[in-house]
Amino acid sequence: MKVIEKMQSFIILTAVGLGLLVGQITIIEQYAHLFILPFLFVMLYGLFLTIPLDGLKNAFKNINFLSTNVILNFIWTPILAWGLGAIFLTEHPALWLGFILLLVTPCTDWYLIFTSIAKGNLSLSTSVLPINLILQVMFLPLYLLLFAGAMETVGVSSILESVVLVLLTPFFLASLTRYLFNKKRDELEKKIVPFFSSSQIIFLSFAIVAMFASQGSYLINNLEVIMLMLLPLLTFYVINFIFAQLIGRWFNYSYEDTVSLNMTIIARNSPVALAIVLTAFPEQPLIALALIIGPLIELPVLAVLSQILLKLKKV
């Protein structure tokens, strides 16, 4: 793992602390919210730019794995997220919504790292990456309308505005960039893409600093959220891990393919959901806090899961 990838949890946690610290300065607290969207926009533009969408056809070479991945990520997981929230977070609707939005967005980056550590099928995991990205961009507005609407958290117009501004616009600009650099692909792949690949966490961290600075006083009084999120998240990881193992045996997947399935249905993509939340729910920081806590718990879990899978391989 690259140093910056190893440090992601520490970087995010540092950004949270820095935001809380500088948010104690009145003038910063008043204007910090103006910087949230620009940083998130650049981060998502870089994310979409680094995803090789021209490799979509590779995903369809293994229809069995692809269909299983899609069903578990986009049908099973939203249902499970709603159910776990109903059990553990029913008295905290903002956290419940944040919890759901965290879980309905499959990871598009660091799950590949842990797939490699656990000796999984890296090429298979990579092949479904663009599918997961496109489907979460398509379905996230639907999930927002379904779950946020049911909770009466935000209006439809606010959701649609946020999706267009935060998701579709950077997605379009990233696609346009790839088109314009079609004849200079080497320059794009060797200079521009590596820059955005390594700097996404930095732009996300700047957005987190701005978010926590703008809502610092409120959030300091709600740090118990970490404990509230811990049990439902761990339950999600355990259930999906068992599911992946059972499905792997049902379809006679190899160890490598089962590892890939594990990682693709357990790792989540909080930055995409976070961008929507910070735009659609600027006055409800607990929703965003749920999405920020997610990676802090997830990364250690994925590291432990990788070792468990390696031990299962030896059995």
Q: What does the pLDDT look like over 14-34, one tens digit per residue?
A: 887 898 888 888 888 888 878
Q: Are 33 and 214 in contact (CB under 8 A)?
A: yes
Identify the bridge partners of residue 106 per DSSP, sorted by sequence position. 268
Cβ-based neighbours of 191, under 8 Å, separated by 6 or more = none
Q: What is the pTM of this model?
A: 0.76
pLDDT of the residue at 1: 47
Highest mean pLDDT, choosing among 38-42, 214-218, 253-257, 300-304: 253-257
Q: Are 231 and 92 in contact (CB under 8 A)?
A: no
Of 217 and 305, more confident? 305
Q: Are 236 and 79 in contact (CB under 8 A)?
A: no
Mean pLDDT of 250-267: 95
**Pairwise CA distance, residues 68 & 71, whole Å:** 5
pLDDT at 102 over 80: yes
Of 38 and 109, more confident? 38
Mean of per-residue pLDDT scores for the chain? 82
pLDDT at 241 over 90: yes
Of 235 and 43, more confident? 235
pLDDT at 237 over 90: yes
pLDDT of the residue at 163: 65
Mean pLDDT of 235-242: 96
**pLDDT band at 287, cuts 50/70/90?**
confident
pLDDT at 307 over 60: yes
Radius of gyration of the chain (CA): 19
